[in-house]
């Protein structure tokens, strides 16, 4: 499996490899959206805004439509926060449309569905299952500068919870907009945050 890790030298003879804070990779894929039909999406389209790439194994499957519908339930709220959503599978844009036309669940999806037919985008995010031609369930949140701030990868038998993603999105945006503050465990919008300092050491 190809994982686009970037290793940085942090001390002599020591390196650190991580996906967090990596830049959104270059890509160009076909896409389908109910209100726009077929069009092309590139990494440039994601610049300047918060973006979620929501990878799933395939159209016309079982867990996948429940996840996409769950995410749709939060789409209006995400848009209100300035966050755009892109679902991604290795199916073609034609299959995305056929799925939307065939089922009421997918017919209700309003966000853009990306067609990663060359597997390039899935490989660059480390979720590609080469022997199956499908991706793992992977969620990636990029900030307006194109830096990866949240990632989650599941085995394909485990469905995701969009309400938990929503909590992470709000926490990521809060930290981004309030430098010097951090969100503790189970933080929810409006709850107390922390300001790390020497005065706080040993008092939590």
CA-CA distance, 51 to 195, in Å (whole number)?
Answer: 27
Between the alpha carbon of residue 101 and those of residues 33, 60, 94, 106, the distances in Å are 12, 11, 11, 8
Taking a C-beta distance cutoff of 8 angstroms, is the pair 38, 47 a contact? no
Between the alpha carbon of residue 57 and those of residues 3, 68, 103, 152, 171, the distances in Å are 18, 12, 17, 15, 27
Contacts of 109 (CB under 8 A, 6+ apart): 34, 68, 69, 72, 87, 100
- 64 labelled catalytic: yes
Contacts of 3 (CB under 8 A, 6+ apart): 19, 126
C-beta neighbour count of 120 within 10 angstroms: 16
Q: What is the CA radius of gyration of the chain?
A: 18
CA-CA distance, 142 to 20, in Å (whole number)?
Answer: 10
Catalytic residues: 64
């Amino acid at each position: 499996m190809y994982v686009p890790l970037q290793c940085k030298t942090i001390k002599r003879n020591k390196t650190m490899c991580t996906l967090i804070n990596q830049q959104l990779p270059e890509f160009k894929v076909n896409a389908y959206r109910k209100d726009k039909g077929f069009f092309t999406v590139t990494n440039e389209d994601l610049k300047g805004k918060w973006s979620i790439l929501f990878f799933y194994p395939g159209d016309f499957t079982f867990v996948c439509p429940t996840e996409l519908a769950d995410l749709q339930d939060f789409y209006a709220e995400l848009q209100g926060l300035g966050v755009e959503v892109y679902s991604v599978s290795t199916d073609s844009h034609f299959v995305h449309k056929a799925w939307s036309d065939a089922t009421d669940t997918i017919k209700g999806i309003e966000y853009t569905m990306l067609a990663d037919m060359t597997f390039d985008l899935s490989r660059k995010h480390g979720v590609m299952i080469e022997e199956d031609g499908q991706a793992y369930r992977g969620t990636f949140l990029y900030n307006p500068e194109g830096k990866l701030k949240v990632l989650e990868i599941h085995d394909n038998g485990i469905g995701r919870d969009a309400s938990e993603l929503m909590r992470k999105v709000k926490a990521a945006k809060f930290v981004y907009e309030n430098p010097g503050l951090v969100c503790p465990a189970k933080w929810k919008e409006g709850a107390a945050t922390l300001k790390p300092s020497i005065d706080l050491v040993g008092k939590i």
